[in-house]
Amino acid sequence: NLTRHLSLVSSDGERRSGNPLARFAPPTIKINVICGNITAVDHLPGVTSAIDAIGVGHYSGGKPETAMQAIDILISSALVDGEPPAESDRVLYQFTQRGTIQSKLAQTFLLNDPSPRGKELDRVVAIAGMGAPGRFGSPELTVLARELCWTVGRIGKSHLATVLIGAGNGNLS
């Protein structure tokens, strides 16, 4: 039903006249590159809008590392109102180990950000699946970025902060 106007031929075989393209402008994306810590995104120079989504990538079968680990510490600490819990007690670690976050390619897992600033902004944390380790390249990054942006946009978020997904040690240059 969503694509019924995109064809020059109607469902009953009649040829339509006019332009079969959608009658709305394509979405636009503005990208700013800022060097900093993803967990301190609200305090980085150059961030002028309230960040309502934070995205990181994750390989299937692994535990949270680097940026995802930093976010895991941040949100897990917020949930217990204090010091960061041990790794095995952290939320994202438990979700990855139990298979709740599967991280199949371009599969996006969403979680409300329980930190005080996250609650204030109704922010979500988006874990973007990178698939199996060793198989992530430019085509996979393209699909992941498209699905991550579509997903956060579809739930009404308009300011996504993310790390350079796939640019870690031994990954994309």
Which is more confident, 8 or 55? 55
Residue 125 · residue 54 · CB < 8 Å? yes
C-alpha distances out from residue 102 to 62, 65, 67, 117, Å: 9, 15, 17, 27
pTM equals: 0.82
Pairing label, strands 108-112, 124-129:
antiparallel
Residue 165 banded pLDDT, cuts 50, 70, 90: very high
| Tens-digit pLDDT profile for residues 93-118 | 999 999 999 999 999 999 999 999 99
Residue 1 banded pLDDT, cuts 50, 70, 90: very low
Write down the mean pLDDT value for the chain: 88
| Tens-digit pLDDT profile for residues 46-89 | 888 899 999 999 999 999 999 999 999 999 999 998 788 999 99
- Tell me the three state secondary structure of residue 2: coil
